Chains A and B, each alone.
Chain A
C-alpha cells in the first residue's frame, strides 16, 4: 500500500518537473546573448549607407594585382622576384605561358567580383529609406560597380552581370557571360548616373568625384573605340574639372604629392594597419609597392622589397633625351648605388632598373608585415592620362586633330620643361606620337598591356603574345568548373 502511494507520488512529481522543464527549455534556448548586426536588416539610417559604402571602397585596394600584372604582362617590365619559381602565376604571365590554372588571375577575378558585390549590396537597398544626399552615396556606389566591372571586362572579356542585387549561390549556373557590349552598356549607365549625381569636389579626400566618373566614362568609350563620345566627355573634364598638370613630374608620386591637383581618381592606402600574406586583399597598404621594391636595399630614401616588376633596358631607351620623366619613373639602381653608396641585392631577372613611381619610400611606419603596408596611393586616373585619352579620341575619331595636338603638347611641355619638343604631326603620325607618349608618361602604372591590346600592337611588342588568345586572360578553371557548362572559356586556353 505504502509502496503504491510512493510510486504514484513519484510519478506525479516527475511529470510535474518534466513538463516544467520542457516548457522552459525552448525559452532557455532562445535567450542566448550575442552582439550581431544582421546583414538583411541593415540600411536604417544614412550612417548605415555610408558604412556600407566604405566597405565597397575597400576592394579598390585589392586592385594592386591588376596594376602589377598590367605592367608585367606588357613589354615594359620583366616579372623579377627572388627566383624563377617566385609567384609562379606572375612568372607565367610575364612569359605569356599562363594557363587557366593561375592563382593570381583567380585573385583578380575573386577580388573584383567581391567589389561588385559590395557595391551591389548598397544598390540592392537603394530604395529602402530616403535622406538628404542619398544620390551622392548611390552615385559613388555606381562608380565603384563600374570600376570593378571595367577591370573584369579588361581582364576576362564578357562577365556575368547582376544589377542592383548581390550574386546569390546558384547564379554561376544560370547567369550567362554577358557580351562585352552588354558589360560596357552597364558601365556606361552606371557612370552616367555618377556623373549626374556627383560634384567635382568630393565630401572627403579619396571619394569619387564627378571628374573621376567622367574620366572613367571617357576611358570606357575609348576602349570601345567610341571616339566621338569619348572626346566629348573627356573634353568636359578638361574644361570644367578643377584638375591640372602638376608643375614638376617628379613630385606626383611622392608622399607629399598624394591627392594633388593632377589626381582625378586615386586609390587610397595607408601604413596604419598591419597586414599578412594570409589575406593580401585585407591589407590597407599598397601590396604592389612592396613587391616592386629594391631587393635588400640599405641606403637613403628607399626601403626594401621583393624586386618584382623590373623595367627592361628597352623601356629605358624609349625615353627621349631631356625627358624629365625618365629620372622620375625609372630608378637606375647601379647609378644610385654609386652616387649614394647604397647597397642592394640582385633578384631574379635583375635588370638594374626599378619602377621608381611605386617602390617603397623610407619614412612610413613600417607596420608589420612592412612589405605589405606601404602607404603609396595608386594614381588610378591622372589628368595627364585624361589629356592623352582626349588627344587619342579626338585624333583617331577624326574629331579635332588640333585639339589633340594641344592636349598632347601640354603633356610634353610639362615633361620637357619647354615647347621645343612639341609634336606637330597629324593623322596617323599623330596617333603614333600619342601612343609613344602614353608609354613614357604612364610607364609603371599598369595601363601598358591594355593599351597595346586595344590598339592592336600587342603581338608586335610582347614576346610570346599570340593573337586571338592573349588579348584576354583565361577565366580561372575553378570558375569554369563551378559554372558547370554555363560559361565557356576564352578562346585557345
Chain B
C-alpha cells in the first residue's frame, strides 16, 4: 500500500516536473496602429511544426512550448515579429507599408513602385472609370505628366495620337503599345476592360529596344482575383452631344456689305445692289451641326477560386456624329475573356482574348472642300437647298448639306487578339515564362460616288458613278520566352536576372477595286457585283507586306537593402526591313536609384515619408525606315498608244541601301517625394533626349535625278538629329478631412523644348500646305523646333500712302502695297520685302502642357473634374478660301476702312494684294484650358443595397469637354493632324463634341 502510493507520488512528481518544463502560451495579437485584434495571425514555434492561428478576438493558445523558445508571428501586411515564449503574451504588430506596395510593370517583369529607378507613370482603372473615355488613350490626357494626347478630329471613331515627352522625330512619334505582352492598339480595347496603363517614359523602356524610343505604354487588362466571389458589374451611360464651338461668321447683311466693299475697292461693280432687307440670312453652321446621341453598355463578370481567376466582359458603344449624324457615326463592340489557372504550385497557365468589332461612317473632313469648310465659306444669302450653279465660290465650295447627303461610305472591321502564357517555376527563385500573343484584324470598306452636279466647274461634279471596295487583312504574332531569376544574400543583397528572346511577325494584304456605273445611281445598289461599266485605266490594286523582328534581351537588377538600386538592360534587335548589313543593333541602358528616406538621417522623419532620387541613361530605337533599300519599279509610267491607256514600267522612289532606324539617347533624373503621411506626393523629372539618324524623306534633291516623275521621289536618308529637353512635375494632395469627406487634387505640368540640331546638307525641309498655290508653311530647320511656321512677319497696317512710301517696297512679293495693306517686316534688312524676309512666326507644339484634376467624396456623393491645358502653341488658320465671294469670320468687321480704323486687319478688296500671303496674320495663339470632364455621382449606401444583393449602385451625371477657354478663333485648339512637319494647320477640324451624359454603375 505504502509502496503503491509512493510510486504514484513519484510518477505524479515526474509528470509534474515534466510539465513544469513546457508551458502553454496564451496571448493576444493586436494591431499597433488602432489597437484592434488581428484575426488569422500565424504563430509558430521556431524550428518546429507547432503553431496556432489567432481567432476573432486576436487570442491564440499553444501548449507544450519550451519556455523561452522563439515564437514567430507573421501576418500579411504587417511586419513579422519574433519573441520568446511566455505563458501570457500581448503582442502588437506594426503595419508594413512596404508589402502593401503597388506593383508596377516594367517590361518583362514588375517592380514595387518604391523600387522603380525609371520614370514611370501609372493610370489606374479608377481614373478610367471616372473619365469614361471612348478610347482609353484619352485617359492619359491631363492625368500623366509628360504625355499629351491629341486627335485630328472629333468625328466618331477617329483615332488619337499619343506623344510622350514631345516630338523628337519627323517620322513616327507614336509610343509602343503592349497589351498583356503583345503589341496592340488602344482603339480595339474597351476602356472598361483595362486594369492599368503604365507609361515608361525614359531609358526604362530600353528593354523594348528598336521600338522603345518614343516611350512604351503597357496595358494590363482585368483578370479577376483569387478567392473572390463572382462579381457581376453592369454599367451604362447615355447622353447627347453638341458641338463645343461654333465659329463667328458674318450674317447675310454683314456679308453683303463686306463683299460690296471689297468689289468696290477692286474696281468692280457691286454685286448686291440692295442690302437693306437681307437680315440674318442662313447660318450654315446651324444647318450642319446637330445634336447627336451616344450610348454605352458594359457588363463584366469576374472572380476566382483558389486556383482559377476569370474575367468576362462585353460592351457596346454607339456614337453619332454632330455633323450629319446619319453619315458620320461609329459603333464598337467588345467581348473579353481572361482566364488564369494555377495548375499546380509551379505551373500557371493564363490566356486573354479580346474580340473587337467596329462599324463606321465618315464624311469628308479637314481639307479644302470638306463639309465643314464648305459650311463656313458658303454664302449666308443662299437658300437651304441652293446649289452654286454659277460657280460663285470657285471650284471647290458646294452646298455642304448636298455634300453630306451625297456622301456614302461604310467601314466594318473586326479583330481577335490575345495571348496564351505559361509560367513555370523551375526552382526557387527561377521562373520561366513563354507566351504567344497574336492579333488578326480584317476590315472592308466601301465608298460610293454618285453622279452629281453642284454647279459649273465644281471638282465634286461627277459624270460617272463609281463604287470602290477595299478589303484589308493585318495579322501579327509575338512569341516570347524569358526567364527571371531572383536571389537574395544575407538579407541585404537582392539580385534579379532576366534573360529572354522574342520573335515577331507582322504580315498582311490588301485588295482594292473600283466599279463604274452603279445601277440607278443609288447607294442601295452600290456594289461591284452590280456595276456595269469599266474604265481603261487600271481600277484595281493590291499589296502585301511582311515584316519580322527577332530580339534577345536581358536585364540585371541589384539592390542593397532596397536602399541603393541599380539595373542594366541590353537588347539586341534584328529587323527584316533592312539590308543584311544594317539589320542588327544593340540597345543598352542603365538605371539607378537611391532611397534617401531609408537612410538613418531620414528614417524617422515625421514630414518626409519617402524620398527617392533616381536616374537613367540609355539608347533606344524607333523602328522606321523599313524597305527603303528596295529599288522598286513602283513608279507610274502610263501613256496613250492607239488611243488607249497603256501601262508601262517606271522607277519608284530612289532607294537608300544604307537606311537604318533612328536611335535615341535618353537621360533622366528624377525625384519622388511623399510628405505628411503620404498625403502629399511630388514627382519631378528632368529629361534630355538626343535623337539621331532621323529619316528624312522627300529631302529635296536636285530635279536632275528625275524624282519628280510620277511615282518617283527622293531617297529617304538618315539625315537629321534633334534634341528634346524638358522637365515634368506632378504634385498631388489627397486627404480625408473627416470620415465622410475626402478629397484629392493633383497638378502636373510638363515643359518640353525640341530643336532640330542637324540636317545633312543644312537644307530646310518643308511640309504642310497653306492656301492654294502657296509655298509650304511648315519647316524643319536647324536651330528651330520641328514643324515651325515659316512666313512673313507683319507690323501693323499701312494707314496712309506716306507710310507705304516710307517703308521698303513690298513689290517683291508680287504686288505693290496700298493704304490698308499689311506692312511686313524687312527681317533681312536688304531694303526690300520679298520671300527672303520670311521667318519664324509660330510653332505647333506647346511650351507647357498641364493637367489639373480634382476629386471630392462626401458620404455617398463623389465629384471629379479633370482639366487639361496647353500653353504657348500656335495654329494656322487655313479654313478660309481665298476667293471674292466666300463668307468670312467676323474678325473682318474690324478691317481697315480708312486711316486709324484698324492696325490689325487689312482692307477688303477683290484686287491683288500681298495680304493673302502666308504671314502671322494667319497664325493664331492656340493656348487653351479645357475642362475635359466634370462628373457628379451618388452611390446608395451599402446597407441599403445589400438587401437586394447588390454591392454597388451608383448613378452619375457628367459633362465631357464642358468648356474650353482660348483665344483661338477656330473650332478646336487641341486638334492637330499629329504630323511633325505640317501639324497644327487648321482646315476646319471636325470639332470635339460636348457630351452630356447620365450613367449607372451596378455591381452584384
Question: Which chain A residues have a beta carbon within 8 Å of chain B's beta carbons?
Answer: 3, 6-7, 10, 14, 17-18, 21-22, 25-26, 28-40, 42, 48, 50-61, 82-89, 91-92, 97, 101, 103, 106-107, 109-111, 113-118, 121, 160, 166-169, 171-172, 175, 204-207, 258-259, 268-270, 272-274, 279, 281-282, 284, 295-298, 304-306, 343, 345, 365-371, 476, 478-479, 481-483
B633 adjacent to A117 (CB under 8 Å): no
**Contact flags B647-664 to A (C-beta < 8 A → 1, else 0):** 111111010000000000
Q: Is B463 an interface residue, CB under 8 A from the partner?
A: yes
Given contacts A29-B550, A33-B544, contact A167 B634 (CB under 8 A): no
Residues of B within 8 A of A366 (CB): 461, 463-464
Contact of A83 among B457, B642, B884 (CB under 8 A): B884
Given contacts A34-B544, A118-B709, A281-B710, contact A274 B700 (CB under 8 A): no
A121 adjacent to B391 (CB under 8 Å): no
A478 to B687, CA, bound (A): 38
Q: Is B708 an interface residue, CB under 8 A from the partner?
A: yes
Residues of A within 8 A of B884 (CB): 83
Q: Is B433 an interface residue, CB under 8 A from the partner?
A: no
B705 adjacent to A281 (CB under 8 Å): no
Contact of B648 among A25, A53, A205, A476 (CB under 8 A): A53
Among the interface residues B499, B651, B913, which one has the most CB atoms of the partner chain A within 10 A? B651
Return B830 CB to nearest CB of chain A, in Å. Answer: 14
Residues of B within 8 A of A298 (CB): 390, 456
Other A-B contacts than A33-B546, A204-B641, A281-B709, 8 sampled, CB-CB below 8 A, are A17-B501, A25-B574, A29-B548, A33-B544, A34-B546, A57-B639, A205-B641, A282-B711
Contact of B633 among A18, A42, A60, A172 (CB under 8 A): A42
A106 to B775, CA, bound (A): 13
Residues of A within 8 A of B449 (CB): 368
A55 to B550, CA, bound (A): 39
Given contacts A17-B481, A52-B648, A83-B912, contact A117 B709 (CB under 8 A): yes
Residues of A within 8 A of B427 (CB): 3, 6-7, 10
Residues of A within 8 A of B913 (CB): 85
Q: Is B630 an interface residue, CB under 8 A from the partner?
A: yes
Contact of B704 among A14, A82, A113, A268 (CB under 8 A): A113
Contact of A206 among B395, B639, B648 (CB under 8 A): B639
Residues of A within 8 A of B898 (CB): none
A306 to B456, CA, bound (A): 11
Residues of A within 8 A of B712 (CB): 114
A37 adjacent to B632 (CB under 8 Å): yes
Cβ-closest chain B residue relative to A173: B702
Residues of A within 8 A of B426 (CB): 6, 10
Contact of A54 among B390, B574, B637, B643 (CB under 8 A): B637
A282 adjacent to B636 (CB under 8 Å): yes
B710 adjacent to A370 (CB under 8 Å): no
B459 adjacent to A36 (CB under 8 Å): no
Q: Is B948 an interface residue, CB under 8 A from the partner?
A: no
Q: Is B583 an interface residue, CB under 8 A from the partner?
A: yes
Q: Is B437 an interface residue, CB under 8 A from the partner?
A: no
Contact of A205 among B462, B636, B643, B835 (CB under 8 A): B643
Q: Is B405 an interface residue, CB under 8 A from the partner?
A: no
Contact of B706 among A32, A118, A258, A369 (CB under 8 A): A118
Residues of B within 8 A of A85 (CB): 773, 814-815, 882, 912-913, 916
Q: Is B943 an interface residue, CB under 8 A from the partner?
A: no
Q: Is B755 an interface residue, CB under 8 A from the partner?
A: no
A121 to B705, CA, bound (A): 11
Return B513 CB to nearest CB of chain A, in Å. Answer: 15
Q: Is B646 an interface residue, CB under 8 A from the partner?
A: yes
A205 to B643, CA, bound (A): 7
A18 adjacent to B703 (CB under 8 Å): no
Return B325 CB to nearest CB of chain A, in Å. Answer: 27
B546 adjacent to A32 (CB under 8 Å): yes
A166 adjacent to B706 (CB under 8 Å): yes
Contact of B503 among A25, A61, A118, A345 (CB under 8 A): A25
Cβ-closest chain A residue relative to B769: A278
Cβ-closest chain A residue relative to B912: A84
A145 to B362, CA, bound (A): 47
A88 to B535, CA, bound (A): 35
Residues of B within 8 A of A297 (CB): 456
Return B709 CB to nearest CB of chain A, in Å. Answer: 4
Cβ-closest chain A residue relative to B710: A282
Given contacts A17-B481, A207-B641, contact A167 B814 (CB under 8 A): no
A109 to B449, CA, bound (A): 36
A54 adjacent to B639 (CB under 8 Å): yes
A479 adjacent to B703 (CB under 8 Å): yes
Cβ-closest chain B residue relative to A304: B457
Q: Is B263 an interface residue, CB under 8 A from the partner?
A: no
Smallest CB-CB A-B distances: 9 pairs: A54-B648, A84-B912, A55-B637, A117-B706, A55-B650, A272-B536, A110-B708, A110-B703, A114-B709
Of residues 702 through 761 on chain B, the ones whose CB sits less than 8 Å from some CB of chain A are 702-712, 715
Contact of A296 among B456, B630, B644 (CB under 8 A): B456
Return A209 CB to nearest CB of chain B, in Å. Answer: 13
A21 adjacent to B391 (CB under 8 Å): no
Return B720 CB to nearest CB of chain A, in Å. Answer: 17
Interchain residue pairs with CB less than 8 A apart (5): A84-B911, A117-B651, A167-B704, A172-B701, A371-B395
Cβ-closest chain B residue relative to A120: B706
Given contacts A17-B481, A39-B651, A274-B537, contact A370 B461 (CB under 8 A): yes
A116 adjacent to B706 (CB under 8 Å): yes
A345 adjacent to B464 (CB under 8 Å): no
Residues of A within 8 A of B631 (CB): 38-40
Of residues 450 through 470 on chain B, the ones whose CB sits less than 8 Å from some CB of chain A are 456-457, 459, 461-464
B536 adjacent to A270 (CB under 8 Å): yes
Residues of A within 8 A of B481 (CB): 17
A33 to B545, CA, bound (A): 7
A28 adjacent to B709 (CB under 8 Å): no
Cβ-closest chain B residue relative to A57: B639
B702 adjacent to A42 (CB under 8 Å): no
A206 adjacent to B641 (CB under 8 Å): yes
Cβ-closest chain A residue relative to B640: A268
Q: Is B993 an interface residue, CB under 8 A from the partner?
A: no
A272 to B534, CA, bound (A): 10
Residues of B within 8 A of A113 (CB): 703-706, 708
Residues of B within 8 A of A481 (CB): 763
Residues of B within 8 A of A175 (CB): 704
Q: Is B76 an interface residue, CB under 8 A from the partner?
A: no
Residues of B within 8 A of A84 (CB): 814-815, 911-912
Given contacts A34-B544, A270-B645, A371-B395, contact A61 B639 (CB under 8 A): yes
A205 adjacent to B642 (CB under 8 Å): yes
Q: Is B416 an interface residue, CB under 8 A from the partner?
A: no
Cβ-closest chain B residue relative to A297: B456
Of residues 426 through 455 on chain B, the ones whose CB sits less than 8 Å from some CB of chain A are 426-428, 430, 449
Cβ-closest chain B residue relative to A35: B544
Return B771 CB to nearest CB of chain A, in Å. Answer: 9
Residues of B within 8 A of A207 (CB): 641
Return B555 CB to nearest CB of chain A, in Å. Answer: 16
A368 adjacent to B545 (CB under 8 Å): no
Given contacts A345-B391, A479-B703, contact A58 B710 (CB under 8 A): yes
Residues of B within 8 A of A111 (CB): 708-709
B703 adjacent to A272 (CB under 8 Å): no
Given contacts A52-B637, A207-B641, A282-B710, contact A28 B548 (CB under 8 A): yes
A290 to B928, CA, bound (A): 44
A270 adjacent to B461 (CB under 8 Å): no
A83 adjacent to B773 (CB under 8 Å): no
A7 to B487, CA, bound (A): 13
A52 to B709, CA, bound (A): 13
B912 adjacent to A118 (CB under 8 Å): no
